[in-house]
Amino acid sequence: MVRCFLIHTVCPVNALGAGESRVLYCRVFGPDESLFTDQEREFSPEERRVLQREQTAVVARQVHSAASLSRGAAGRLLMEALPGEEALALQEADSGVLRLRAGDPFPEEMSALWLGVQSLGFTLVCEPHENLLLAEGTLRTLTRHCLEHLHLLGPGSEVLLRSDRIDALLSRLLPHGQLLFLNHRFAHSLEKEVAAYMTK
């Protein structure tokens, strides 16, 4: 199962410190895991939310660091793709996978798959025995749709104001965090529904 999906910055942000990442979209799936760990006291909903936000901030920071190191090592120049060149931007994207040790920040070990498209990172946090080939494919598809439907290659801020589109996309392609084995016909059917939503 996928634990969460994030969109965050992987470039330096003026308002933040070095290495810090701004989380632009975050969707955590399933019931809160702190309900099931044996705690001495139960967390209130406020505390649970703060905990969740801090966990995702940690993930974003680690992916930011991994992406920067990976880009530095590869030594390629970041090319700026223009709106309309989504497929090219995706092809040129850096990708990788990070091991998140148990406790740092989730109670169990997790794998964080990431795609870095210019200044934004798209991250899927999966349970480690998950099918990473499928997860990788799903992440690429999600990223492609986000780039297209939120016009991320342009200068707008739609990722912040049109986050309902991402929610609708996730409810089709990653319902409640379940990765789906979709051949092109099933995918086509779902993508038609997504496209219908986006045009509203």
Partner 1 sequence: MYSHGSESLIKQAREIQDSELQKFYSRLVKLLQGKELGYEMVDSLQRLHLILSANKYIRTLPPELQKRLQSLLSSPAEQFQVLSSAVLRETLPPAAHSGNYSQENIVQLNGHAAALLLSQAGSRADVSSLCTQLLRGLESRQSEGPTNSLTHTLPILNTILTHNPECLTEDHVTLLSKKLVDWLRYASILQGGGASSGGFFTGPRSRQPVPIAELDGTVSGDFFTVLCVGQSFTEDQWMNVFSFSALRHWLLTYHSVSNGNGTADTDDRSEVDGSVVSMVSATSSSSRLLPPKERLREKSFQYCQRLIEQSDRKAHKKSDADLQKACLVEAVCILDCVCEEDASLVFRAFPCIKALFGRLSSDLSFARVLLPIAQFYLNHGEMAAVDCGSVWALVFGRFPSELFNDPFLAHELLRFLRLNLESLQLRVPQYTHSFPNLLKFLAWDSPAVVDDFVDLLPSLVTAGTAVELLHTLLDLPCLSATLVLQVRSTCLPISEQSGRGLLSLDAFRSPSFRGLFLFLLRGEAGSGDTIDRLSTLHELLVETADWPRVVQCAQIVPVLLHIFFNTVITVADEKLLAHLILVMLERSSLLLNIPKYNKEIHRVFSSHLLRLCKLHPSLVMDQSHELLEFSGATANVYSKEEIYTHVVWVLGEYLSVSCDSRCSVTLITSCFEALEAVLFEITSSVPPPGADCPAPRVVTTLMSALAKLASRSHDLIPRVSLFLSKLRTVTRGGSVAWCSDEEDLVAIVTRGEELWSLLKAPGVAQSVLTPPAHVTTPQWHRDTNVALPLRLRTLTNLTHSH
- Give residues 47-66 in contact with partner 1 (rule: CB under 8 A): 49-50, 53-54, 65-66
d(CA 5, CA 171): 12
Q: To the nearest whole angstrom, how small is the minimum distance from the Cβ of residue 8 to partner 1?
A: 9
Q: To the nearest whole angstrom, how small is the minimum distance from the Cβ of residue 123 to partner 1?
A: 14
Burial 12-22 (b: 16+ CB within 10 A, else e): eeeeeeeeebe
d(CA 83, CA 85): 6
- In 3-state terms, what secondary structure has residue 72? helix
From 4, 5, 6, 9, residue interacting with partner 1 (rule: CB under 8 A): 9
- Told to check if 195 binds partner 1 by CB under 8 A, we report no
Residue placing its CB nearer to partner 1 in the complex, 137 or 148: 137
d(CA 196, CA 198): 6
- Told to check if 46 binds partner 1 by CB under 8 A, we report yes
CA distances from 7 to 83, 103, 153 (A): 18, 22, 14
- In 3-state terms, what secondary structure has residue 155? coil
> In 3D, which of 25, 19, 17 has the Cα closest to residue 142?
25
d(CA 107, CA 104): 7
Per the CB < 8 A criterion, the answer to whether 10 and 115 are in contact is: no
Residue placing its CB nearer to partner 1 in the complex, 18 or 36: 36
- Binding to partner 1 in span 93-122, by CB under 8 A: 95-99, 101, 111, 117-120
- Binding to partner 1 in span 127-166, by CB under 8 A: 127-129, 131-134, 136-137, 152-153, 155-157, 159-164
Q: To the nearest whole angstrom, how small is the minimum distance from the Cβ of residue 56 to partner 1?
A: 10
Q: To the nearest whole angstrom, how small is the minimum distance from the Cβ of residue 195 to partner 1?
A: 13
- Told to check if 77 binds partner 1 by CB under 8 A, we report no
- Told to check if 31 binds partner 1 by CB under 8 A, we report yes
